[in-house]
Amino acid sequence: MSETSGASITTALSAYELLADPQLNKGTAFSEAERDAFDLHGLLPPSVLTLDEQVSRRLQALRGYETDLERYAFLRELQDTNETLFYALLVGNLEELLPIVYTPTVGAGCQHFSRLFRKPRGLFLSIPHQARIDRILAHPRFDAVEAIVVTDGERILGLGDQGAGGMGIPIGKLSLYTGCGGLHPATTLPILLDVGTDNPDCLADPLYIGWRNERVRGQEYDDFIEAFVSAVVKRWPRVLLQWEDFAKNNATRMLDRYRDRLCTFNDDVQGTAAVATGTLLSAINVTGVPLTEQRVAVLGAGSAGCGIAGLIRAAMRDAGLSESEAATRFFMVDRDGLLVEGMSGLAPFQMPFLQNKAAIANWKLDHPDRVALLDVVRNAKPTVLIGVSGQAGAFSEPVVRAMAEANQRPVIFPLSNPTSRAEATPVDIEAWTEGRALIGVGSPFPPITRDGVRFKVDQTNNSYIFPGVGLGALAVGAARVTDGMFMAAAKALASSSPARNNPKHNLLPPVSALRDVALTVALAVALQAHKEGQVKDIPLDQIEARIRAKMWTPRYAPYQRAKG
């Protein structure tokens, strides 16, 4: 156990036990006096290094690996060995390391999770151990937990069911909560709800570390989720719970069921919506087409796609459109084509986005029994094209060229992750639109050449949103996370757009500025929470100070040995 007193830390751990604690280990940075006090002489080489020197050594080692998966494994091991050093390395090199810690490399990390597994991090809560959830959560090591990211591993990025390997996503998300949002790592907890897997490769893999069982569904699944949420609320009444990478049939359903029981949100539904909306609001500064005149086509009418459409539609209403006018401006395309009134098998969250049959009666179609994406682009002439389908290449050359024919500055966001699942590459979009498209991608791509110079492509990724949302909500103790708070986050992101001052600049701030973005988003979210009555006993003039005080900076504190 350890206690923080002012700028110092008091702990009873010593020798190997101290070095084995990733939250307390300093490695070669323990001072001579600390090595005396904690019996570390001989366990460490004699040279005493600073944190900056350690970061330089680890960065050199990292760059020596040949593949990003090797770098991912290196960083995961560093995180499990010395968290302060890991986060100092991450915060100081966000642009270089974000694609390794997060998407796209985290996808490969999930696929290889069983082989990369070294030390336990977070919690694996499985169906066979449902009765033990309360006891597992009760351990004193979790007393400081304030933020949880949870997945059941069924829809990992665009890769599908990864079973227990999905734990890589909560670990990665919470790394960004700390690296970008400043939450202290001791207050975060990644959780994998192991309800089995339908991935035949996992089930047949002798090294698979998860529960080797077909994925549980129906009432048994719901009962397990209920047991988990009930235990979480009992253990941490004020916790922030983020749902991550649940299948579309569960994502919105779970959000609707629990959003009024605790401070919770679904990043795939609401975070993706906020970053897409914020980036579109930024694009309007460049295109000159007001929000009330936008027409939006979305490929992928799952929970993420409908979440995006829902928030943009709300922004249109704020801008002056009526509900009925706004509803006509969305064209949701799924595996069976455009969502139209009368279609069967639709989910409840898709129902608000059905196009009227009469409105498309005179469209010219390639196939009369199905309205494909290209049909939508040619007939509806959308100003915005967004992809969350996980279908690589779905934004074909004819589709993109049709967007360019209908718009002087088409807005095209292939947002599916990882890069292997993107609907189109920035290079192709740039070529097919003669350099006129405003492009946003979900994962990082190499720069493109625009007007003879290298131009970084905007990474329209949730990392611009969720760290600030969590930081703002926790800093003021918000009771709930509301749609209004996500709208505030989207508008705050748009307010940070470099394109506001120069239309030739990027729509989003650089990845290296994500900590600043998180602060801006957190302030907007906290103020909105206060406005909506989700905050108690905190004056408005204290909110920013609370947020700044909540942001942890990775640095070593001096240690004192506990007496007795």
Active-site residues: which are they? 102, 173
User: Annotation-wise, does 25 bind a ligand?
Assistant: no
How far, CA to CA in Å, does 257 sit from each of 147, 152, 251, 252, 477?
19, 16, 10, 9, 21
User: Annotation-wise, does 244 bind a ligand?
Assistant: yes
Kindly state the tokens that stand for 10. Answer: 């008091």
Helices (H) and strands (E) in the chain, counts: 23, 17
Q: Is 452 helix (H, G, I), strand (E, B) or coil?
A: coil
Kindly state the tokens that stand for 82. Answer: 């010395």
User: Annotation-wise, does 155 bind a ligand?
Assistant: yes
User: Annotation-wise, does 268 bind a ligand?
Assistant: yes
How far, CA to CA in Å, does 407 sit from each of 69, 413, 507?
40, 15, 18
Q: What is the DSSP pairing of strand 559-561 with strand 411-414? A: unpaired
126 phi/psi in degrees, rounded to 5:
-115, 155
The residue whose two tokens read 């934004």 is 395
d(CA 460, CA 412): 11
What is the CB-side half-sphere exposure of residue 267 using CA atoms within 13 A? 28
Kindly state the tokens that stand for 226. Answer: 């209920």
What secondary structure letter does DSSP report for 563?
Answer: P
Rounded CA Rg of the chain: 24
User: Annotation-wise, does 356 bind a ligand?
Assistant: no
d(CA 193, CA 127): 8
User: Annotation-wise, does 226 bind a ligand?
Assistant: no
Annotated binding site for a divalent metal cation: 244-245, 268
Which residues belong to the annotated binding site? 155, 244-245, 268, 417, 461
Per the annotation, binding residues for (S)-malate are 155, 417, 461
